């Protein structure tokens, strides 16, 4: 397995005369270093926003009353949006380095376009959800409730990103097989956060006096179906 460090030489075995392969490897290592620097720079840019908004977001994730109280807070909304975009980029970086390390065939096919491709895919998926929720809210004449659920997902994406951020920074600065553990940890954090989100939707349905039957219908139509669609897209890449 290839072993790479951001600041140092990469030692890779190549057959004699494989100048083209060596050039491709150096080029790909250059891209990975640029993306790592970009990730660190982006983290420094949003650091103040992270410090200012992370605790309110965590409180919203675990305290339902706090979520209701701050749902119309404009300053917190700006911080949440910044953290959410950073979280999408964070998981795009993790996906990129996982493919770069373990799926050389995909990296050779897409090259450095993989990271923006993952980021675009995650962004489109969220906008698709937002559009569907907005449309459903308009149809059932409950736009505020559906908009609340749509925005609430961002809290748990941010929560999972912040939970995995220290390991991500350590892995990206000096990484090899630890990328595998980082990927497993990110998937686990996302799964646990999503379960918390599902429980939050149940709390909100009870709060607005919706029937549990409608909550089950909501899960099947607006949660399970989009996830199945995202999974089908990812396995075809």
List per-residue pLDDT tens for the chain, 237 residues long: 444 444 444 444 444 444 444 334 444 456 667 777 887 888 888 788 778 888 888 888 998 888 888 777 766 778 888 889 999 998 988 888 888 777 767 777 777 788 888 999 899 989 988 998 899 889 888 888 888 998 899 999 999 998 988 888 777 766 555 677 788 888 899 999 999 999 999 999 999 888 888 898 888 888 887 777 767 766 765
- pLDDT of 167 reads 83
CA distances from 215 to 110, 128, 171, 201, 222 (A): 40, 20, 39, 8, 10
Q: What is d(CA 85, CA 89) in angstroms, rounded to the nearest whole number?
A: 6
- pLDDT of 29 reads 59
Asked if residue 205 lies in contact with residue 218, where contact means CB atoms within 8 angstroms, the answer is: yes
CA distances from 150 to 171, 187, 204, 222 (A): 32, 21, 12, 10
Model pTM? 0.78
Asked if residue 57 lies in contact with residue 159, where contact means CB atoms within 8 angstroms, the answer is: yes
The string of pLDDT tens digits covering residues 204-233 is 999 988 888 889 888 888 888 777 776 776
Q: What angle do CA 102, 106, 107 make, to 5 degrees?
A: 80
SS3 72: coil
């Amino acid at each position: 397995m290839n072993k790479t460090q951001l600041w140092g030489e990469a030692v890779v075995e190549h057959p004699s005369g494989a100048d083209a392969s060596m050039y491709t490897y150096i080029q790909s290592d250059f891209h990975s270093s640029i993306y790592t620097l970009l990730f660190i720079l982006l983290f420094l840019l949003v650091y103040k926003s992270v410090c200012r908004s992370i605790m309110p977001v965590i409180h919203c994730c675990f305290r339902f009353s706090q979520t209701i109280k701050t749902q119309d807070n404009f300053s917190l909304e700006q911080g949440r949006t910044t953290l959410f975009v950073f979280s999408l980029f964070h998981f795009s970086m993790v996906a990129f380095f996982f493919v770069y390390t373990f799926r050389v065939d995909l990296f050779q096919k897409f090259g450095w376009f993989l990271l923006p491709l993952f980021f675009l895919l995650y962004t489109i998926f969220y906008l698709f959800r937002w559009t569907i929720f907005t449309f459903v809210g308009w149809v059932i004449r409950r736009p505020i409730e559906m908009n609340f659920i749509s925005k609430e997902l961002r809290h748990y994406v941010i929560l999972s990103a912040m939970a995995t951020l220290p390991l991500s920074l350590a892995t990206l600065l000096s990484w090899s097989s630890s990328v595998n553990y980082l990927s497993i940890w990110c998937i686990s954090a996302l799964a646990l956060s999503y379960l918390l989100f599902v429980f939050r939707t149940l709390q909100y349905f009870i709060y607005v006096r919706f029937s549990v039957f409608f909550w089950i219908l909501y899960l099947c139509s607006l949660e399970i179906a989009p996830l199945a669609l995202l999974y089908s897209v990812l396995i075809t890449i």
